[in-house]
Amino acid sequence: MLRYTLMRLGIFVGCLGVVWGLVYSGAAPRGLGASNGMWVILLALVISAPISFVVLRKERDRASIQVVRKVDRVKANLEANRSQEDTADDTARAQSQAS
């Protein structure tokens, strides 16, 4: 999961560098007044999203498999804890009724 996040961040930073270069060289339009920094960041986000979607497909699939495994493990642990609590409650009720 960390690998996917870092790869995605790398694509964004690369796009940010390219967009920044294009804007400051005059090849791409500048933002209005003080909004130029926000313009560059938003344009880099819009460009990097589809690139990440296509280029990181396999890595995204690997990351989703890891997430599913972790969720399944947490569900199994919760179910095991729930059944332990039920057993403890049943034992406590049986002892209180016997007394």
Given a cut of 70, whether residue 96 has pLDDT beyond it is yes
Summarize pLDDT for 9-58 with one digit per residue, the tens: 999 999 999 999 988 888 877 776 666 888 889 999 999 999 999 999 99
Look at residue 81 in the predicted model and tell me its pLDDT: 80
Look at residue 13 in the predicted model and tell me its pLDDT: 97
Contact 65, 80 (CB under 8 A): no
pTM of the model as a whole: 0.66
Distance CA 18, CA 44 (A): 8
Look at residue 42 in the predicted model and tell me its pLDDT: 92
Name which residue leads in pLDDT, 46 or 95.
Answer: 46
Contact 49, 60 (CB under 8 A): no
Segment (H or E) for 91: helix 57-98
Task: Look at residue 88 and give its three-state secondary structure.
Answer: helix
- Within 10 angstroms of residue 55's Cβ, the number of other Cβ atoms is 14
